[in-house]
Each structure stands twice: as structure tokens, then as C-alpha cells.
Amino acid sequence: MRTQRISPSLKIIAAVAALFVALPLLSIFVRVPWSDLRDMLAQKSTRDALFISLQTSIIAALFSCLFGVPLAWFLARSESRGLSVLRVVCITPMVLPPVVGGIALLTAFGRQGIVGQYLYDWFGISLPFTRTAVVMAQIFVAMPFLVLAVEAAFRQSDNELEETASTMGASPSRVFFTIALPAARPAVIAGVALAWARSLGEFGASITFAGSFPGRTQTLPMAVYELVSVDYRLSLVLSLVLIFISVAVLAAMRDRWMVGR
């Protein structure tokens, strides 16, 4: 393999960039009260937030998969008009400030919301400030990541095999489940992991739409945010937990996201 020579000045700039990311993360490791770690992790508020975070993010990742994969298939294969508009709408939450997403969810599903008022009037269902709202906010923010990853895989996959299956008598839905989906499986798995990681870190949309009620809707990121001014040491511990989970996701997905040595 050819060794590429890199100019010293570029090396310095690269080092600054890497340090800029690494230093804050390392600082947490330095300052975490390691001696009290076990006690702090055992606190009820910590365990509640961790449980709510894991529960809501796993449900959100599963729903993102259940609905996002068919959406990705539609975006990849449909020839309907206005598809590009639909695609932009579907991935907007990726670039939208999450707090705006939260406001949007309130406007749609809040008690006076466009849909929410009928949910409340007809069925007595009030979504905001519930754990369901946490999950909805996470799906809103995370599903686009999955849709984009899976759509790309569907686009790359072999249309000819799908055609072949149809000449063998397979209906469009059988073609999807037996040919297209198995071919896209690695992307679906990566998309679920991505959606799950994104759900776990979700803060802006969920705190706006679901509030931060300890034991009910307070997830780990919300707890970290609220603890910064009250119990900084505990917020460090919770941050460490989130860093640990993020690194674990990266490690599990390293074949897909990391190239090189």
C-alpha cells in the first residue's frame, strides 16, 4: 500500500480537531466521582431515568423500523408524482431543531391540537406529558435516520431479482418480504441501531412534548440537564452512562460506520 505523505501543518490542524472532540469526553472521565459511582447509579432517580430511557428508546426504535421500512420501500420504488416533496418532508426532522419538533407534536397531538382535540373529546385520550409522548417524540426525530439508511439500500438492491420473483408468480408484497427485505437486512439492522441511539439521546422534542417528570417522562438526557445546576456530580455520572451506551453502539456497528484500521 502506498503511504500518503501528510504535511505537518495539516497534521496540527487535524490534531486540534480531534482534540476538540476528545477533550470534553475525556474530561467527564476525569471528573466523574468514581468512588461514589456505585451509590449514585443505585439511586432510585437514576434507575428510573435509565429505565424510562431504555424502555422508550427501544419501543421507539421498533416502531421506527415497523413503519420506517415500508416508507423507505415506498420512497425507493414508487414512481408517484410528488415523491421528492414527500422525501423532504419525511427527513426534515433530521435537520429541524428538536424543540421545534416538540412544538409541532404539541400542535398536532396536544389537547387543543389539530388531531389531539378529537382524541381527547371522543376517546378521552390526552397524549402530552405521558410516556407515550416521549416515545412519539423519539420516533419523530429518529425514524428519518432509519428511513434514509434503508431507502439507500433498497435503491442499491437488485431490481432484476424482484422482477424475476414477480415472473415466478410472486405478488408485490411477497417480492418485498422474500427478496427485497432480505437483501436490505444489514441496512435495516444498522438503521434500527441508529434510530435507537438517536432516540436514547433525544432531548429537545421530548422535553417539549412530554415534559420532564421524574419517574414518568424523565429520560436520562433530561435528568442530566436538570441535574447540572442541582447535583453536578450526579449529572456527570449519568453522562458517563450515556457515553458508555453510545460507544457500545459504535462498537457494535463498527463494520458499517468505520473504515480503515
Partner 1 sequence: MSISLQGTIGRGEFERSLDFSVVDGEVLAITGPNGSGKSTIIHTIAGLIPLRSGQLQSENIIWDNPSVKTWIAPEHRTCAVVFQDLRLFPHMSVVANVAYGLRAHGVHKDEALSRSSAVLMQVGLSSFEKRRPENLSGGERQRVALARALVVEPRVLLLDEPLSAVDVASRAALRELLPEILSSFAGATILVTHDLGDVEAVATRSLGLI
Binding site for partner 1 (CB under 8 A): 160-161, 163-171, 174, 178-179, 182-183
Nearer to partner 1, 118 or 177 (CB): 177
User: CA 151, CA 149: separation in Å to the nearest integer?
Assistant: 6
User: In the bound complex, what is the minimum distance in angstroms from residue 147's beta carbon to partner 1?
Assistant: 23
3-state class (DSSP) for residue 120: helix
User: In the bound complex, what is the minimum distance in angstroms from residue 183's beta carbon to partner 1?
Assistant: 7
Nearer to partner 1, 58 or 161 (CB): 161
Q: What is the DSSP string of 141-152?
A: HHHHHHHHHHHH
Nearer to partner 1, 82 or 169 (CB): 169
With beta carbons less than 8 A apart as the criterion, state whether 120 and 152 touch: no
Question: How many other C-beta atoms are found inside a 10 Å radius of the C-beta of residue 91?
Answer: 17
Nearer to partner 1, 190 or 234 (CB): 190
User: In the bound complex, what is the minimum distance in angstroms from residue 130's beta carbon to partner 1?
Assistant: 42
User: In the bound complex, what is the minimum distance in angstroms from residue 80's beta carbon to partner 1?
Assistant: 18
Nearer to partner 1, 179 or 240 (CB): 179
User: In the bound complex, what is the minimum distance in angstroms from residue 176's beta carbon to partner 1?
Assistant: 13
Nearer to partner 1, 97 or 182 (CB): 182
Nearest residue to 144 (alpha-carbon basis) of 208, 205, 207, 78? 205
Nearer to partner 1, 61 or 69 (CB): 69
Nearer to partner 1, 94 or 189 (CB): 189
User: In the bound complex, what is the minimum distance in angstroms from residue 173's beta carbon to partner 1?
Assistant: 11
User: In the bound complex, what is the minimum distance in angstroms from residue 223's beta carbon to partner 1?
Assistant: 44
26-35 burial, b if ≥16 CB within 10 A, otherwise e? eeeeeebeee
User: CA 107, CA 112: separation in Å to the nearest integer?
Assistant: 7
Length of the chain: 261
Nearest residue to 62 (alpha-carbon basis) of 128, 8, 6, 143? 143
User: In the bound complex, what is the minimum distance in angstroms from residue 169's beta carbon to partner 1?
Assistant: 4
